[in-house]
């Protein structure tokens, strides 16, 4: 190989190096995109879990009222998603001021083995419903603002309303059956004995007829 051929070989190699695909930068960009999507998905799933905890409590507390709250939140979700960018950003700013970190959306915030109802019973239903609505609003605003969030499922779905209505009827029927069973058990206990005894503070027994006991229960005096 003479010097002319060697020069042509080197020039060709350098030219090929200059135009070859940039594999690593593209790979880094793709990794960043996947990471961003995964982050949005993780945060969305966390909010779904927080909302599910509140829903589970509210639907048992008052099924019909929960249906109203769900419908209202669904309307708000769709309304916010369709608003202009400036309005959405203003709404999102208000929510992020109130909930600086995602842990703030955890309304229950208790030990994993503590029954949710024992914690939520301390709060007014209006406060729980407001928190429920704020989670839905925040999620909707995030989906409207970010392509990564738009890949996640909406918090609420209008196609679920019919299923929710049927489930609420089921919950109400179950509650009615439980009350009926309890009434039957109390009636059976009263019929088995015409006399019921109570332990007084000094250890003595007070005997009363079942009629008097039932009357006291009606008046809310069973603790006496």
Q: Is residue 61 part of a domain?
A: yes
pLDDT in tens, 42-73: 999 999 999 999 999 999 999 999 999 999 99
Percentage of residues in the chain having pLDDT higher than 70: 73
Q: Can you give the C-alpha Rg of the chain in angstroms?
A: 32
d(CA 52, CA 63): 15
Q: Is residue 77 part of a domain?
A: yes
Q: Is residue 18 part of a domain?
A: no
Model pLDDT, residue 40: 92
Q: Verify that 135 and 70 share a domain, yes or no.
A: yes
* CA distance from start to end of the chain: 113
Does residue 5 surpass a pLDDT of 70? no
Q: Verify that 131 and 66 share a domain, yes or no.
A: yes
Model pLDDT, residue 193: 62
Q: Verify that 45 and 125 share a domain, yes or no.
A: yes
Q: Verify that 66 and 136 share a domain, yes or no.
A: yes
Which domain, by its residues, includes 214?
193-224
Percentage of residues in the chain having pLDDT higher than 90: 54
Q: Verify that 45 and 108 share a domain, yes or no.
A: yes
Q: Which of 117, 146, 175 is the last residue of a domain?
A: 146
Model pLDDT, residue 21: 42
Q: Which of 131, 146, 161 is the last residue of a domain?
A: 146
Does residue 224 surpass a pLDDT of 60? no
Q: Verify that 46 and 139 share a domain, yes or no.
A: yes
Q: Verify that 47 and 124 share a domain, yes or no.
A: yes
Q: Is residue 11 part of a domain?
A: no
> DSSP 3-state assignment of 208?
strand
User: Taking the model in full, what pTM does it have?
Assistant: 0.69
Model pLDDT, residue 196: 52
Structural domain count of the chain? 2
The number of C-alpha atoms within 13 Å of 113 and in the hemisphere containing its C-beta is 0
Q: Is residue 29 part of a domain?
A: no
| Residue that is written with structure tokens 């709404």 in the block | 91
Q: Verify that 140 and 201 share a domain, yes or no.
A: no
Q: Which of 146, 173, 206 is the last residue of a domain?
A: 146
Q: Is residue 81 part of a domain?
A: yes
Helix (H) or strand (E) holding 50: helix 23-61
pLDDT in tens, 139-170: 999 999 999 999 999 999 999 999 999 999 98
């Amino acid at each position: 190989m003479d010097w002319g051929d060697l020069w042509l070989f080197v020039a060709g190699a350098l030219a090929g190096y200059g135009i070859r695909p940039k594999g690593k930068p593209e790979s880094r960009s793709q990794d960043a995109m996947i990471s961003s999507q995964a982050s949005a998905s993780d945060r969305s799933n966390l909010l779904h879990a927080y909302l599910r905890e509140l829903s589970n409590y509210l639907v048992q507390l008052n099924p019909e009222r929960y249906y109203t709250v769900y419908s209202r939140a669904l309307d708000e979700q769709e309304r916010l998603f369709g608003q202009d960018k400036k309005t959405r950003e203003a709404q999102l700013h208000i929510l992020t001021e109130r909930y600086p970190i995602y842990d703030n959306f955890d309304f229950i915030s208790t030990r994993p083995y503590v029954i949710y109802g024992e914690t939520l019973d301390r709060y007014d239903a209006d406060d729980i419903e407001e928190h429920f609505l704020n989670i839905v609003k925040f999620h909707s605003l995030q989906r409207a603002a970010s392509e990564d969030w738009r890949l996640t499922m909406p918090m609420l779905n209008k196609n679920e309303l019919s299923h929710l209505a049927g489930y609420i009827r089921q919950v109400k029927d179950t509650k009615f059956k439980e009350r009926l069973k309890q009434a039957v058990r109390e009636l059976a206990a009263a019929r088995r004995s015409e006399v019921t005894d109570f332990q007084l503070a000094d250890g003595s027994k007070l005997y009363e007829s079942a009629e008097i006991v039932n009357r006291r229960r009606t008046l809310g005096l069973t603790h006496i």
